[in-house]
Amino acid sequence: MPADQSPGDYPLWHPFTQMARFEREPRLVVARAEGNRLIDTAGNEYVDGVASLWANVHGHSHPHIVGAIQEQAAKLQHSTLLGITHEPAIELGRRLLPHLPGRSRVFFSENGASAVEVALKMAVQYQANRGRPERNRIAALEMAYHGDTLGAVSVGGEGPFRDVYEPLLFEPLRFSSASPASLRDLLTTHAGEVAAVIIEPRVQGAGGMIVAPEGHIAAVRALCDEFDTLLIADEVATGFGKTGAMFACDLEGVTPDLTVLGKGITGGYLPLSATVTTEEVYRAFHGEEGRKLFHGHTYAGNPICCAAALASLDLFEADDLHARTRERAALLATLLAERIADHPLVGEVRQQGLMTGIELVADRDTREPLPPDREAGWRVCLAARDRGVFIRPLGDVIVLMPPLSIEEDELAQICEAVAYGLDRVPRD
Ligand SMILES: *Cc1c(COP(=O)(O)O)cnc(C)c1O
């Protein structure tokens, strides 16, 4: 290899990371984590303000989850779910369903994007299997994010996550999260073509922490019923307590036909995801060989991952974590109002439970965006590290999504660090 192409001593290429910047900036190397804090190789502590990318629920190194992982690892590390089964997966299916009333079948995968792919394939094949192959399109929200595999990117919002891959994608029908009427128009125009409507219920995460008005999920459900199409709720980000309820659909008493779970399902410890559905959808796949679902990942429903998920459910069932989350969320709202909302760079603060987006703008009145080369969001998050807080922005939206176990003083530290970071963004 020519010398100028040598990778030096750093061999990694990081996800969603501009490596040119990564190579310039101080490197945060996490050595271990305890409770709500990450600890780097130099011994510095950082409050984990984004729950290790929206996944961690009960804090790091929780003895109950660690113990369950250790015990399962000594017993059965992996055995396939293709045609045979194992107890941790069966038990997890049984234990998840009481939290998902009206649903009866759990299909495991390894990550959120894959579980979204499964939901899309289930929806289209469900329609085909019941003799409606012409119902083969997907309706999706503008600004949606459903993961990074090609089917998930297809139903994701337009923009840099999607545009360059356009030649590889299919086109969904799009409607606005602000207005269920736009979905009615779309379903009226395309009656009989739509296999399923996919939403991120209540909070659109990676699209910028956009909070839908109360009633939006129920309105979408009603339209799906009226037009005889399936509702897919992607709860990968919103699931497992982050919104103040176990699932965002619970906030409006809605039962989707397909629910996608990921991130927090193992408490944020190991990779696992699930597509949960109704007996009605499941039954449509019964019969001859060609009616089965043609999908499955090698490590789907891995027993150690299932053991972690079961231990996480134990913790949900032992305490009223949702009441605690709503109290913490109220404190966070107060701190944001006191320390952040009036800052000249802040255009809007959006919050549902512990899911928070702080949108930075050039002008508070016109909501004019900042020029991207200011890298304001990134600078705030980098400065926050000096105050012992790890957060990661979505462009110029500062995201806060701490674990449910976050303590009051840690929430205050996160907000102080954001305020400190905001003061360090150069004015022009
Ligand atoms: C993170 C996310 C995904 C993708 O999950 P991965 O495990 O990263 O593949 C899908 N949908 C939503 C709403 C997400 O936030």
Residues 51 and 404: their CA atoms lie apart, in Å, by: 9
The reply to whether ligand 1 has any atom less than 6 angstroms from the CB of 209 is no
Please, how many CA atoms are within 13 Å of residue 364, restricted to the half-sphere of its CB? Answer: 9
Take residue 303 and report the two structure tokens written for it: 């027993």
Residues 173 and 184: their CA atoms lie apart, in Å, by: 12
pLDDT in tens, 226-280: 999 999 999 999 999 999 999 999 999 999 999 999 999 999 999 999 999 999 9
Give the mutation target among 263, 266, 352 for probing the ligand 1 site: most ligand atoms within 8 A of CB: 263
pLDDT for position 122: 98
The reply to whether ligand 1 has any atom less than 6 angstroms from the CB of 205 is yes
Tell me the three-class secondary structure of 29-90, residue by residue. CEEEEEECEEEECCCCEEEECCHHHHCCCCCECCHHHHHHHHHHHCCCCCCCCCCCCCHHHH
- The predicted model gives 147-164 an average pLDDT of 94
Kindly tell me if the per-residue pLDDT of 92 is higher than 60.
Answer: yes
Q: Report the range of poorest mean pLDDT among 175-179, 189-193, 308-312, 351-355.
A: 175-179
* Angle subtended by helix axes 63-73 and 303-318, to nearest 10: 150
CA of 237 from ligand 1 middle (Å) equals: 6
CA of 240 from ligand 1 middle (Å) equals: 14
pLDDT band for 159, please (50, 70, 90 cuts). Answer: confident
pLDDT for position 7: 59
- The predicted model gives 214-223 an average pLDDT of 96
248-274 CB burial, b ≥16 within 10 A, e <16? bbbbbebebbbbbbbbbbbbbbbbbbb
Residues 145 and 153: their CA atoms lie apart, in Å, by: 7
Residues 4 and 12: their CA atoms lie apart, in Å, by: 17
Residue 157 near residue 200, CB atoms below 8 Å: no
Burial class (CB within 10 angstroms; exposed 0-12, middle 13-18, buried 19+) of 286: exposed
The reply to whether ligand 1 has any atom less than 6 angstroms from the CB of 401 is no
- The predicted model gives 101-106 an average pLDDT of 98
Measured from the Cβ of residue 420, the count of other Cβ atoms closer than 10 Å reads: 16
Residue 337 near residue 346, CB atoms below 8 Å: no
Kindly tell me if the per-residue pLDDT of 5 is higher than 60.
Answer: no
Residue 111 near residue 168, CB atoms below 8 Å: no
The reply to whether ligand 1 has any atom less than 6 angstroms from the CB of 111 is yes
Measured from the Cβ of residue 319, the count of other Cβ atoms closer than 10 Å reads: 10
CA of 364 from ligand 1 middle (Å) equals: 31
pLDDT band for 9, please (50, 70, 90 cuts). Answer: confident
pLDDT band for 6, please (50, 70, 90 cuts). Answer: low
- How far is Cα of residue 131 from the mean position of the Cα atoms in its chain? 33
- The predicted model gives 81-101 an average pLDDT of 98
DSSP three-state, residue 248: helix
pLDDT band for 196, please (50, 70, 90 cuts). Answer: very high
The reply to whether ligand 1 has any atom less than 6 angstroms from the CB of 235 is no
Checking DSSP bridges between strand 397-400 and strand 355-360, what pairing results, if any?
antiparallel
